Structure 1
């Protein structure tokens, strides 16, 4: 389809929108190749798709075609899941926990000993006078009751005594029998002393651990000692057996109680049990690796569950629903009617046609430098590589985090800029999602990571920055995955979610490493110049640039000034300034072959052209620096786009000085123009056109002295206008109205590099008169 076909009716008419897809018709072979190859890869799941699927109803009875034993995969998987769940957990012993438990128990028992010692011994009187029960009752009796009992003990026969409780009457009777001989006074003193000690013990008990409060003083010192000894013994036994985490508290309490002596009363059992429970901590922790191995071994030990099917046996009656279990059985008997799903394949192809056509249409409108056939091929290679890896990972491993969208984003964004890379990635994402049937929880995170990589990589200028961007994109991929699973829960517990999030991050990191490793090879193979590669080529330590600085220093200085002029103009016009600078650095490398034949390298030495004394030979030497430069560029593997600066910066300009000499010798009518013009071609891009203009103005700008800025601009404009009139810029896409802006930019750079310098006194310079200070 020719361009003229679109010149009329496609614009401004009812079919104007069709012009958006014109690039498809401009490259039909590449477009068809892309659609067919990617459909072939992404449509793998449609090649052998069963007509019968889970959930469908059969329209006729399905009968076994032969007698065979088949694996009941559903039951086998169920048995293996049960075996995995029932697998014994493997625990690891932590001796540090034992020491901590024993220390905490010793601290508790020490505090209990101190409280019991403060309360004093029991019995504190002769049991023949008062029973131990009565003595314990007396020391804990409220103060009012004790005062009343003392009063009655010294005043027998009071009718009030008949109203006292039984134990109080018994205590009163025992005390009343000791009134003679001062014995009652001694008893009262002993009881008072014991009550005081008990009160002090109660005060300490209020700030003691809760395990002691309101119960400890109900034990005698001997009973407490038995409790302390048994608590230590039981704790040692349980730690030796091992305490597993998350053990039911009721089971743990029963285990402690079962080891206590039978002669313990209820209070002793309760205090001893609570003491052990308060300090007991699991000293066994699950060993994840060994437990996993144990579970895997248990699963491997489960044999396939097989069922025997007889020939002619009815498997499913008409109208029955195909369950997952029956689908697996039917599939083993080749009864699922597998075949190519042509409608789905066709739909996938249509999706790709729309997506790729949209990409090509957008690419046509993104800027001046559209993709060429080589770029289409490279984009297809990246897309196919992404698709093949996605199919392998999706169908074989199921590791969603390793889908290489980040790698594709880094490569496409680095090769063709952030905008084109992002659009290309989106165009690939839609058929990728449909062909692989990716779940949203996988698709959106990997797409987000890929877009972050594609958008940001166009701004980078080093491999190191790309590596850090890979980490960022991987973090975005993992973060989006975690966020989606938090907003739309997928039934994971926290541990599984962390594992899957880590997998998404790690997969993205691996993809970025793959992209970093593949990028230099793809750049070389497809001759692509990226911002990173341009930055590397512009490094002064590149072999060709080091040689140029050493072997042709004047040319090198000329090159730097031209690069500054052309780069500034490119930035001002919105062109590729990195490409302009790098191309300019190599545009005159051919002068290294015979540097002395160029005036900037002669530095006061004799001019070799005077020895030649032949304008034809001199012009040939000057003209040959273009062909010599191309030979050097090819030998050192410079990209084609950089090589184009070498011939195009001279175009078909006449070598005026030697042409004039020849005219004086033999007359203008006897001279062939091709002997005194560069071979060309003229600049084919805006970037090479800017370098031609900068190269033409460089010598003139250097020669300017004591001129005003308007005068400098006028002079530069005359040079640019001359190049325009000569037709040197007709194929460069530069516009005549841009020339004044270019001239002003050149003069601005010249002024910045030729600013006035401070004049220092002779005393500062060691000279006899004022001279400009040199830096």
Structure 2
């Protein structure tokens, strides 16, 4: 996986021609482009001007003061006329005499800026004309100032006021000229540059600029194009021209792998017993190596030809193999592991350093394989699961195609996805016999084969010891349900029960279930000889199983299903006959059950035989009998070498009672032919 995380380095020269299309291996910010974009954003912000509303009121007030003062001087002349002194005529005819009176009413600033001629024009007008001129001038100045006037707009505003006053109906040209002068004088700048607001606007514009980024997978330069200064700068920015190699990608890869493999190992340590950890880790690792090797081959092929070939990886193969060879939880573990590794390995074959789409494809496609194989143990179910997996892959690839919007032809992607499911099934079927034969793995498929009644040993039991065969089938029904109740392997228990009494075929007549219409041969034997014959069926059965190369799990069940139990019947019979029997001579050689399956089979074997001996079995009598058998074996230490708990023994008790209740339920007693007569 180093090649997938190794930073890519290019040997290119500035102003040379690109020999291949170069993409960015990561997402980075381009500080030069970002700064240029910010500069343009700041320069595009116009200066902010703030209006001064007080200036409008003040300038209109100046206009009003000038005209009002003139009106007051003229009004004074009217009062003099009413007094008969002829003052008004003097004001209107000779306004120069009253100019000083008017100026005394005005501020020094106005007196400085308003000419004598303008004031004389006012004094030479009637009161009514002055009032009209005042209103016109005030209105023009107010409207213009409210519209806002910048420094460069003052002269233009004065001309507009002049135009407005010029075309109004004033009585004389002199008064019109005076109103124009006063209006122009009143117009000043009332919108001013706001440096603080302008700076704030520029800062906001700069902050709003999104950083310019070179995106991961983005084409920096296409094949055949010139590598100019800007392209060369971008290549350096994304690290494609760095001479020093960074170790961070390798540290990142190492941390991810340590975390992932550490989780898998802890799963083994928590679930498996120490005796099975090494074997199961070896099987898991072997399947993983096959999967990762195939993934690397496809990875290399995809880089050289077509990136879409990455989806050809049979993601369900490893998952289905582990499901069959081990357990579903380990299958989920290898599915997660391969999806993590695939997302990193195919990062340069697809766009993205961590290829999320491909990881999702591997994860879902792989985990679906567990569901498709669950409770299906025939080899034909593998092919069926592969075809269903192909359909799931098609749905997945369709969803990813719509989400990513790739330009790769959909038909080609669909063919690749469907092929992945079919290849998964074919690979699983092809590799399964190799694992079973090379590593002695007792898989579910192998168990199904051994449960076939046409198997030589099962046919031997059926033909030579039919009672034992029926007994084995009954025990199998009991043991399978009890094993499933405590999470043990029910299929293994069933198959083990079929063969657990294979040793009885050596001397079938000496076992009561096969003594149909014949004399019991034990009646002619001593208790010691009878015990030896009965005890030998476990060791005889193990020898026969080894001769037929049966799996170790089945041989263990044959040897352990009686443990070191005491053969009570003949032991007590020897005592009754006055002999001094040693208990060890009447006990099975063992070993004691070492697995839950063997322990449950030992209970089911004893329970089936004991219940069959009851004359009229009832629910209460069955429950009492089952409980006593479990307690007796527990007290005898038969479960000391296996990991079954008291809680699990209680579940076994309940399961056995429920199954037996279904077998020995009350039946309707039909009338016989004699009763009808």
TM over 0.5: yes
Shift, 1:555, TM fit: 0.8
State which of 289, 293, 318 in structure 2 corresponds to 1:384: 289
User: Does the alignment pair 1:501 with 2:414?
Assistant: yes
Mapping for residues 450-529 of structure 1, pairs under 5 Å: 450-492=366-408, 496-529=409-442
Shift of the 497–642 alpha-carbon distance from structure 1 to 2, 3 Å rule, reads same
User: Does the alignment pair 1:652 with 2:564?
Assistant: yes
What residue number does 2:504 align with? 591
Distance 1:433 1:596 in 2: 65
What residue number does 1:272 align with? none
User: Does the alignment pair 1:570 with 2:483?
Assistant: yes
User: Does the alignment pair 1:542 with 2:455?
Assistant: yes
Deviations 1:252-298 (A, max 9, x none): xxxxxxxxxxxxxxxxxxxxxxxxxxxxxxxxxxxxxxxxxxxxxxx
State which of 301, 309, 314 in structure 2 corresponds to 1:396: 301
What residue number does 1:445 align with? 361
What residue number does 1:631 align with? 543
What residue number does 1:375 align with? 280
User: Does the alignment pair 1:730 with 2:640?
Assistant: yes
Distance 2:329 2:372 in 1: 10
Shift of the 594–344 alpha-carbon distance from structure 1 to 2, 3 Å rule, reads farther
Report SS of the residue matched to 2:639. Answer: coil
Report SS of the residue matched to 2:393. Answer: helix
Shift of the 530–442 alpha-carbon distance from structure 1 to 2, 3 Å rule, reads same
In 1, are the aligned partners of 2:310 and 2:346 still within 8 Å (CA)? no
User: Does the alignment pair 1:693 with 2:599?
Assistant: no
Shift, 1:680, TM fit: 1.3
User: Does the alignment pair 1:52 with 2:3?
Assistant: no
Shift, 1:455, TM fit: 3.5
Shift, 1:44, TM fit: 5.3
What residue number does 1:124 align with? none
Shift of the 370–352 alpha-carbon distance from structure 1 to 2, 3 Å rule, reads farther
Instruction: With the length of structure 1 as denominator, give the TM-score of the two structures.
Output: 0.53
What residue number does 1:601 align with? 514
Instruction: With the length of structure 2 as denominator, give the TM-score of the two structures.
Output: 0.60
Distance 1:698 1:545 in 2: 20
In 2, are the aligned partners of 1:421 and 1:455 still within 8 Å (CA)? no
Distance 1:526 1:712 in 2: 43
Shift of the 43–679 alpha-carbon distance from structure 1 to 2, 3 Å rule, reads farther
What residue number does 2:621 align with? 711
Shift, 1:463, TM fit: 2.0
What residue number does 2:114 align with? none
Shift, 1:353, TM fit: 1.7
What residue number does 1:209 align with? none
Shift of the 43–414 alpha-carbon distance from structure 1 to 2, 3 Å rule, reads farther
Shift, 1:461, TM fit: 2.6
Mapping for residues 85-484 of structure 1, pairs under 5 Å: 344-365=249-270, 372-398=277-303, 399-437=309-347, 439=350, 440=355, 441-484=357-400
Distance 1:442 1:346 in 2: 23
In 1, are the aligned partners of 2:611 and 2:617 still within 8 Å (CA)? no
Cα RMSD after superposing both structures:
3.9
Deviations 1:731-753 (A, max 9, x none): 33333355455444434333322
Shift of the 705–601 alpha-carbon distance from structure 1 to 2, 3 Å rule, reads closer
What residue number does 1:173 align with? none
In 2, are the aligned partners of 1:555 and 1:588 still within 8 Å (CA)? yes
Report SS of the residue matched to 2:674. Answer: coil
Report SS of the residue matched to 1:644. Answer: helix
What residue number does 2:532 align with? 620
Deviations 1:544-583 (A, max 9, x none): 2122111111111111121222223233334332222122
In 1, are the aligned partners of 2:394 and 2:418 still within 8 Å (CA)? yes
In 1, are the aligned partners of 2:4 and 2:344 still within 8 Å (CA)? no
Shift of the 645–44 alpha-carbon distance from structure 1 to 2, 3 Å rule, reads farther
What residue number does 2:658 align with? 748
Distance 2:320 2:484 in 1: 25
Distance 2:565 2:670 in 1: 45
Shift, 1:417, TM fit: 3.1
Shift, 1:532, TM fit: 3.5
Shift, 1:684, TM fit: 1.4
Shift of the 516–542 alpha-carbon distance from structure 1 to 2, 3 Å rule, reads same
Shift of the 422–320 alpha-carbon distance from structure 1 to 2, 3 Å rule, reads same
In 2, are the aligned partners of 1:50 and 1:338 still within 8 Å (CA)? no
Shift of the 633–338 alpha-carbon distance from structure 1 to 2, 3 Å rule, reads farther
The alignment covers a number of residue pairs equal to 461
Structure with greater contact order relative to length (CA < 8 Å, sep ≥ 6): 1
Distance 1:580 1:377 in 2: 24
